[in-house]
Amino acid sequence: MAMHPLTRVLLGLACILVGLWLVAPTLVVVPMSFNENKSLAFPPQGFSWQWYQNFVTNPEWSTSFLNSLKVATVVAVLATVIGTLAAFGLDRMRARSAGLLRMLLLTPMVVPGVVLAIGIYAVYLDARLVGTMTGFVLAHTILALPFVLIAVQASLEVFDKRLETAAASLGAGRIATFRTVTLPLIAPGILSGLLFAFVTSFDEVIVSLFITSPYMKTLPVQIFTSITRDADPTVAAVGTILLCATTILIGGGLLLLGRDRRSSL
Amino acid sequence: MSETGKQRGAAIDLSAVSKAYGSFRALDDISLHIEAGEFMTLLGPSGSGKTTTLNVIAGFTEVSAGSLQVGGRSVVGMPAHKRNIGVVFQHYALFPHMTVGRNVAYPLSLRGVAKTEREARVKRALDMVRMADFAHRYPSELSGGQQQRVALARAIVFDPPLLLMDEPLGALDKKLREWLQLEIKRIHRELGTTFVYVTHDQEEALVLSDRIAVFNRGKIEQVGTGRDLYDAPETLFVGRFIGDSTVLRGQSRGDGSSTALDIAGETVTAPLKHAGRGQPVMLLRPEKLAIRRPGLGRNDGDNRLSGTISEAIYLGSGSKYEIRLRDGSTAIVRSPLTDESFTIGEAVELCFRGEDAKLVADDSAADTTLT
């Protein structure tokens, strides 16, 4: 169906506008990070790398960054293992309760973050987990689990289970079948789950604000406290770095998912 | 099981095997002996239990009752991956993330076969199915027929004493199917392995098999060579499932040596005693029936029924006619081309010799499961 040239132009304009609206607030951070003055003014004045320097050298920033990295890595592995096992269990469960269990596992995605944060905080106070690495890992794993579950479940849905029967007929036991047939074929789903879990933990702020302490801060917490205390443009530098990193990670994840979908056709 | 180096097949014994899903009996007291090296086809309509039988032998489905021996050894309760049985599936089931070569090498890797021997055996298996040039391709780059040949190579590469095939040609077009049938027959001859083949296509069963087991509603109706089943069907279902046949129903009268049927005022007799239970019906193969114009004299031994031609089909090698009999039933006649031809609507007489008829017990369920 041919489109009227005017319609085409209007459609293009509308798309550009919506795109700008979505991306602009994020992109504003980039020029601000090169500001010469210690202010978060826009448009920025002059050009300097000093805020990037500050991010690397100031222990407040670098420690919180390393904390986030550590927490996110452990969370990614933990959530991926648990989430994959859960997706498998639900996939092979014939009982009707499978749907109910699935909903239960997805609740952390649906429940308002603040509500979850209050609950976790209350429990952590008693368990002395506030401000600990373990506390962060446990809380973030709860939040990351649904993403892994969804990603792995999606690739299990398109996985042809009859291949497992074929593998059995060729002499493969259950573990060998999983390792040589099932795992390689659902690997894209598991990998994208891993990426989403990592990112979920890395930029989680609501729950983190509740369970943080002066001795254990993650990067988003540090950004929040910094910006409420003073107008330090280091925040913009960090924001720019994170923007680049998450774009690469999520982009990679989406590419993997896309490949998974195509190969299953 | 292997004598003088050559791979020999394993015999299979199913004895009183049943499989129930809830109240549904997928297999109802099946007993079947398959000879070592035999090509046995399990033939029947969908839902008749043939695939369940295959799955039971493969170990994908556990029996509810009965015993199952492969090569003289009971395999009841043995998981599928320990049975050492090759299986070819209708949906090919090649591993999409492995090349053709790695697919075929897969069962050998699991068995810890060393690399050089593995490569030699993969090549031999691919040669056998004429796919050696495709070893580096992925399954998605192959046609259906090529994929199924690779699947066949993968199922025979580890020299299983038994190969099971579940409608392997079901997804392929007719020409390719006929060619692959001959390929499968050749491979069976070369390997000497026992083949158990599931199909709903009676022509395919006749082409391939040493013997055929006809399944219906979870039971085996008859086991025999294609000729046995065609010439001497023991049940109405077998008579109708294998080849065309005319079924004559009527009021029966029997004495010690013959049976007569009254069909809408006409009588036909056959020199046979009805041994089965229930009402006898006569089964006649299309080439045992002849069509005559009425009023022409024939020798008295012939049975005659009057009817009208309702369909005339030219087959090239001959003609096929459908004749509507007085009682409303339809007879199917095949006549050679040299015979005189008839037109639709023409009143004719249907003739046959009593000794060409087969007597079987009437079975109204045979009609419902066929359609």
Q: Is A26 on the interface with B (CB under 8 A)?
A: no
CATH number, domain containing residue B284: 2.40.50.140
Q: Give dist(CA B227, CA B233) in Å, integer.
A: 9
Confidence at A264, pLDDT banded by 50, 70, 90: very low
The answer to whether the Cβ–Cβ distance between A166 and B89 falls below 8 Å is yes
A94 in reach of chain B (CB within 8 A): no
Report which of A185, A196, A157 is spatially closest to residue A79, judged by C-alpha positions.
A196
Closest approach of chain B CAs to the CA of A165, in angstroms? 7
CB B19 within 8 A of CB B47: no
Q: Do A160 and B93 touch (CB under 8 A)?
A: yes
Contacts of B62 in chain A (CB under 8 A): none
Q: Is the pLDDT assigned to residue B6 strictly greater than 50?
A: no
Number of domains in chain B: 2
Q: Do A167 and B97 touch (CB under 8 A)?
A: no
| Domain contains B6 | no
Give the closest-approach CA distance of A200 to chain B in angstroms: 30
State the pLDDT confidence band at A217, using cuts at 50, 70 and 90.
Answer: very high
Q: Is A183 on the interface with B (CB under 8 A)?
A: no
Domain end (from B203, B236, B269): B236
Residue type (1 letter), B198: V
Which of A171, A176, A184 faces B84 most closely, judged by CB atoms? A171
Instruction: Find residues 95-154 of chain A whose CB sits inside 8 Å of chain B.
Output: none
CA angle B65, B68, B74 (to 5 degrees): 115
User: pLDDT class for A1, splitting at 50, 70, 90?
Assistant: low
Parallel, antiparallel or unpaired: strands B330-336 and B318-325: antiparallel
Establish if A170 touches chain B: CB-CB under 8 angstroms: yes
Which of A105-119, B4-18, B253-267 has the highest average model confidence (pLDDT)? A105-119
CB-based contact, A36 to chain B, within 8 Å: no
CATH number for the domain including B184?
3.40.50.300
The b/e string for B303-334 (b: 16+ C-beta within 10 A; e otherwise) is bebebebeebeeeeeebebbbebeeebebbbb
* Residues B228 and B295 placed together within one structural domain of the fold: no
- In B119-178, the residues whose Cβ lies within 8 Å of chain A are 140, 154-155, 158
Residue A171 has its nearest CB partner, among B58, B81, B96, at B81
**B57 to chain A, minimum CA–CA distance in Å?**
11
CB contact under 8 A, A165 and B60: yes
Partner residue facing A176 (CB), from B84, B87, B110: B110
Chain B residue nearest residue A265, CA to CA? B140
Determine if the peptide bond prior to B45 is cis (ω within 30°).
Answer: no
Question: Is B1 inside a domain boundary?
Answer: no
Q: What is the mean pLDDT of residues B334-343?
A: 79
**CB-side neighbour CA atoms (13 Å) of A146:** 15
Q: How sure is the predictor about B370, in pLDDT bands with cuts at 50, 70 and 90?
A: low
3-state secondary structure of A213: strand
Query: Are residues B213 and B67 part of one domain?
Result: yes
Q: Over 60: is that where the pLDDT of B2 sits? A: no
The two structure tokens encoding residue B69: 């021996």
Residue A135 has what pLDDT? 95
Compare CB distances from B95 to A163, A169, A171 and report the shortest one's residue: A163
Q: Is residue B355 part of a domain?
A: yes
B106/A170 touch (CB, cutoff 8 Å), yes or no: yes
At A215, the pLDDT band (50, 70, 90 cuts) reads confident
Q: Per the CB < 8 Å rule, is A170 touching B110?
A: yes
Asked if A181 and B95 come within 8 Å (Cβ–Cβ), the reply is yes
Q: For chain A, first and last CA: distance in Å?
A: 27
Question: If we measure between CA atoms, which residue out of B128, B279, B275, B290 comes closest to residue B193?
Answer: B128
Parent domain of B314: 245-370
Whether residues B220 and B124 fall in one domain: yes
Residues in chain A closer than 8 A to B91 (CB atoms):
160, 162
User: Residue with structure tokens 């609507």?
Assistant: B345
Has residue A153 got a pLDDT over 80?
yes
> Are residues B291 and B364 located together in one domain of the fold?
yes
Residues B108 and B227 reside in one and the same domain: yes
Q: Are residues B59 and B141 in the same domain?
A: yes
The angle, 0 to 180 degrees and rounded to 10, between the axes of the packed helices A183-202 and A234-263 is 160
CB contact under 8 A, A169 and B81: yes
State the smallest CA–CA distance between residue A105 and chain B in angstroms. Answer: 31
- Integer Rg of chain B from CA: 25
pLDDT in tens, B57-82: 999 999 999 999 999 999 999 999 99
- Can you give the pLDDT at residue A163? 96
Residues B91 and B179 in one domain: yes
Measured CA to CA, the distance from residue B223 to residue B204 in angstroms comes to 16
Neighbours of A71 (CB within 10 A): 26
Quote the pLDDT of residue B365: 65
pLDDT at residue B75, as a whole number: 93
Per CB-CB distance under 8 Å, the chain B contacts of A165 are 60, 80, 89, 93
Using a pLDDT cut of 90, give the percent of chain B over it.
64
Structure tokens at B316: 């090239």
Q: In CATH, what class is A52-263?
A: mainly alpha
Q: Tell me the two tokens of residue B45.
A: 């309509």
Q: Is residue B209 part of a domain?
A: yes
Q: Give the per-residue pLDDT at B205.
A: 95
The answer to whether B96 contacts A263, with C-beta atoms less than 8 Å apart, is yes
State yes or no: pLDDT of A73 exceeds 80.
yes
Share of chain B above pLDDT 70, in %: 94
Contact B29, B18 (CB under 8 A): yes
Chain A partners within 8 Å of B82 (Cβ) = 171
pLDDT at B38 over 90: yes
Q: What pLDDT is stored for residue A129 in this prediction?
A: 92
Do residue B150 and residue B252 come from a single domain? no
In this prediction, residue B15 has a pLDDT band, given cuts at 50, 70 and 90, of: very high
Q: Which of B236, B260, B295 is at the close of a domain?
A: B236
Q: Are residues B115 and B250 in the same domain?
A: no
What is the value of ipTM here, to two decimals?
A: 0.83
Residue A240 φ then ψ, to 5°: -65, -45
Ranges of each domain in chain A: 52-263
What tokens does A47 get?
């050009």
Q: Which residue has the higher pLDDT, B183 or A39?
A: B183
Q: How far off is chain B from A262, nearest CA to CA, in Å? A: 12
Option in A162, A170, A173 nearest B107 (CB): A170
Q: Determine whether the interchain pair B91/A168 forms a contact, defined as Cβ–Cβ distance below 8 Å.
A: no
Same domain? B271 vs B231: no
Domain identity same for B90 and B168: yes
Nearest to A171 among B89, B97, B107 (CB): B107
Alpha helices (H) in chain A, listed in sequence order = 5-27, 29-32, 50-57, 59-92, 97-110, 113-127, 133-158, 162-169, 174-177, 183-202, 206-211, 219-229, 234-263
Q: Any CB–CB contact under 8 A between A12 and chain B?
A: no
Q: Which residues pair with B307 in a beta bridge?
A: B325, B348
Signed CA dihedral, A91, A95, A96, A99: sign only: negative
The CA distance from B85 to the nearest CA of chain A, in Å, is 6
Domain membership of residue B7 (yes or no) is: no
Q: For residue B254, tell me if it sits in a domain.
A: yes
CB-based contact A173 B93, cutoff 8 Å: no
Closest CA to B214 of B191, B243, B186: B243
Residue B331 contacts A where some CB pair is shorter than 8 Å: no
A176 to chain B, any CB pair closer than 8 A? The answer is yes
Question: Could you tell me if B321 and B291 are in contact, meaning their C-beta atoms sit under 8 angstroms apart?
Answer: yes
A263–B110 C-beta distance less than 8 A: no
**Own/partner pairs for A119-126, CB < 8 Å, 24+ apart?**
A120/A207, A120/A210, A120/A211, A121/A210, A121/A211, A124/A211
| Cβ contacts from A onto B, under 8 A | 61
Instruction: Report yes or no: A167 at the B interface, CB cutoff 8 Å.
Output: yes
Cβ of residue A158 closer than 8 Å to a chain B Cβ: no
Report the 3 state secondary structure along chain B: CCECCECCCCCEEEEEEEEEECCEEEEEEEEEEECCCCEEEEECCCCCCHHHHHHHHHCCCCCCEEEEEECCEECCCCCHHHCCCEEECCCCCCCCCCCHHHHHHHHHHHCCCCHHHHHHHHHHHHHHCCCHHHCCCCHHHCCHHHHHHHHHHHHHCCCCCEEEEECCCCCCCHHHHHHHHHHHHHHHHHHCCEEEEEECCHHHHHHHCCEEEEEECCEEEEEECHHHHHHCCCCHHHHHHCCCCEEECCEEEECCCCEEEEECCEEEEECCCCCCCCCEEEEECHHHCEEECCCCCCCCCEEEEEEEEEEEEECCCEEEEEEEECCCCEEEEEEECCCCCCCCCCEEEEEEEHHHCEEEECCHHHHHHHC
Last residue of a domain, one of B213, B236, B259: B236
More confident residue, B170 or B94: B94
> For position A265, what pLDDT does the model report?
39
